[in-house]
Structure 1
Amino acid sequence: MTMLRIQLTSEDVQRLRMVHTLGPVAEAVFALHRFGRDRARSGVGWHKSVRDRLGDDLPAINEVASEYRDLPDLLWLLERDGIGANSVPSAVRARARRLAQVVFLFCSAGVLPYWPRMQARLENERDMRGRIAITNGVEFLLAGLHPKVTWESSELRISSSLDLDIKPAGRGLILSPSLFLPDKTCVLVRSERQSGVPALIFSTPLDLNDLEAPLEESEDEGDRALAALVGATRAAALRALSESGTTGDLSGRLGISLSGASKQATVLREAGLITTLRNRTTAMHTLTPLGLALLQGELPAEITRLVGTPDDPGNPWVG
């Protein structure tokens, strides 16, 4: 049996971290693969809604989904280096750019409309795993991470079509759940785009019909209330920073430019909703207690009246 082996030093274990997602583009890569694989369900639920949203772009999506039947063929989209500018012919680079454009297009139809709900589920998965690690230790977490994963002698072993040894060499490892990965599947991104650290992504159960179910009233009202106070764009940025991240992380999670992410972070910081710690050229953003309270719908009414709403002239939060 072929095996992917990730050899973790004590320093790697110390730097191991779990995130709730690598972002909507990562989920779009897995969702595109699932969309192409489950052709029998094309007329119902999530599949039908995505097809309807794609409209005239559907043939381009179907072409890519048919051509890239093996998931590993798409994983380079999540790598830091992708396809290097000097390592491949220009025709191959042009094809790669076209593939990336199709994935982003699919992301807008198949992932972003469901992103708030998906994030909530992924955050719950991350939090549950975090409690396991706190209660029983990191080794217990790794040993029970996934049916395809075993932990033995400082080595994560994953059943895979690849026979490969990975040595993070002190960089650590990112663990991330995914809703769209096929059941009982794990994949490795050797150098995650934002951090450059290896990322092991594992499937967590998802009934696609749940994505099309009506939102719970409290969830819907909470989203509307947050958007009403700070505006939809700021609300999305605040949610994206529910797990601390750099400006690059924020850019990737929202699918916007670095300059746009920097602008959103500046406004949230000036409003007292996040703090920013700078280390040379990197800025790490973290929610303040006020930002967390706002995100959880616990902001006191007195503060809400003080800061106003998007309809108030001069409200600096909205944009």
Structure 2
Amino acid sequence: MLRIHFTDKDLSQVRMITSLGPVAESVFALDLFRRGGGVFGGWQRRVRDGLGHRVAGIEKLTREHLPLTDLQWLLERQLAEQAQPEDRNQERVAAAVFEFCQVAVVPYWSHTRSCLEAERDVRGRVLITVGVEGLLSSLHPKMRWTPPTLEIAGQPRRDVHLDGRGLLLSPSLFLIGRSGVLIDARRASTAPVLAFAVPPSPAVLSGMWGSWKPNEQALGALVGHTRAAALQALTDSCTTGELSQRLGISLAGASKHATILREAGLVETTRNRNTALHTLTPLGVALLQSRRVAPRRSEHRTPVKLP
């Protein structure tokens, strides 16, 4: 188990960025490519086809190196802003990673970055709602906040003391199947980075490689003004209880609406203990615009009665 030890100063210096960039995501993607795609199966097949005869070299690389351990030096060098490898072997490995990046990550980078930006915004709202300790508690099911320590299960036994450097959080789409990765450049002026996995929604998978087939029942339930009203009420992120107040319906009814919207890929739900925070996905915003239901912020004072 990895244990990250915080001081009060560290807690005050927890920050979040959208991403470490395509190269870091490529290291994570290499690990995913080695393990098998799962829900990323469509991506894996496209990458394999795109690599062509070069796939043998990439597979050899993943047999000789475990990306999340043996390629830590590449991530740490990026964090320390040292671009050049130290020896020829590192130069060869870095070149292979960059080649993989061009096929496996760069073609999907625009959509990936949009997904990560949305995740960062969601986490920002969680921070405002429940504070930094609540944010740390909600990062991943395998991460547990036990003050003053963040414990990450499934990692080699290790204790990391931040010692006032703070912590930089970074969501990652290609870490699926893992909890996270701690990247520490071991420089007093550089905060370590904790990259944590973001589970991709059906809408994200659809946008990346068209492998998602919509749940027709869930999409059909969106027809009509009732679901549009629920969608509009979520223009400003809110909890299930707040949604019920905005719509003037029961808590159970609000929960049902949020579930249907989530199944359709229009809403993302972040849970922290007994609280669920609902936020529109980019697809949800697009649907509002296409239905000409203009988002109106801070206009939820009059309850909308749903049948």
Rate the CA distance shift 1:50–1:131 in 2: closer, same or farther, 3 A.
same
Equivalent residue of 1:200, what SS?
A: strand
- The one-letter code of the counterpart of 1:47 is Q
Q: Which residue of 2 aligns with 1:142?
A: 136
Alignment of 1:208-219 (within 5 A): 209-210=205-206, 211-213=208-210
Rate the CA distance shift 1:37–1:52 in 2: closer, same or farther, 3 A.
same
The runs of 5 or more residues in structure 2 that have no matched partner are 212-307
- The one-letter code of the counterpart of 1:158 is I
Equivalent residue of 1:133, what SS?
A: helix
- The one-letter code of the counterpart of 2:109 is W
TM-score, structure 1 length as denominator?
Answer: 0.58
Q: Which residue of 1 aligns with 2:110?
A: 116
Q: Which residue of 2 aligns with 1:180?
A: 174
The partner residue of 1:158 within 139, 152, 161 is 152
Give 1:192 shift.
8.4
Q: Which residue of 2 aligns with 1:14?
A: 12
Give 1:81 shift.
8.0
CA distance in 1, matches of 2:159, 2:22: 28
CA distance in 2, matches of 1:115, 1:39: 18
Q: Percent identity?
A: 44
* Native 8 Å contact 2:152 2:179 kept in 1: no
Rate the CA distance shift 1:182–1:192 in 2: closer, same or farther, 3 A.
farther
Give 1:111 shift.
0.3
Q: Which residue of 2 aligns with 1:56?
A: 53
Rate the CA distance shift 1:17–1:41 in 2: closer, same or farther, 3 A.
closer
Give 1:14 shift.
1.2
TM-score, structure 2 length as denominator?
Answer: 0.60
- The one-letter code of the counterpart of 2:195 is I
CA distance in 2, matches of 1:108, 1:26: 13
Give 1:106 shift.
0.5
Question: Alpha-carbon deviations, 1:119-176, whole Å to 9, x = none?
Answer: 0101111110100101111111111221111111211111143221111211110111
Alignment of 1:274-293 (within 5 A): none
Question: Alpha-carbon deviations, 1:51-109, whole Å to 9, x = none?
Answer: 222223222111112222462222221003899x9xx9x8xx32111111111110110
CA distance in 1, matches of 2:140, 2:37: 27
CA distance in 2, matches of 1:157, 1:41: 27
Q: Which residue of 2 aligns with 1:94?
A: 88
- The one-letter code of the counterpart of 1:35 is F
The partner residue of 2:35 within 15, 37, 45 is 37
* Native 8 Å contact 2:79 2:185 kept in 1: no
The runs of 5 or more residues in structure 1 that have no matched partner are 215-319
- The one-letter code of the counterpart of 2:115 is R
- The one-letter code of the counterpart of 1:67 is E
Give 1:45 shift.
2.1
Rate the CA distance shift 1:41–1:148 in 2: closer, same or farther, 3 A.
closer
The partner residue of 2:62 within 58, 61, 65 is 65
CA distance in 2, matches of 1:97, 1:130: 37
Q: Which residue of 2 aligns with 1:264?
A: none
* Native 8 Å contact 1:17 1:175 kept in 2: yes
Q: Which residue of 2 aligns with 1:171?
A: 165
CA distance in 2, matches of 1:81, 1:106: 17
Rate the CA distance shift 1:161–1:132 in 2: closer, same or farther, 3 A.
closer
The partner residue of 1:204 within 198, 205, 211 is 198
CA distance in 1, matches of 2:169, 2:44: 28
What do you get for the CA RMSD once the two structures are aligned? 3.0
Q: Which residue of 1 aligns with 2:23?
A: 25
Equivalent residue of 2:190, what SS?
A: coil
Equivalent residue of 1:79, what SS?
A: helix
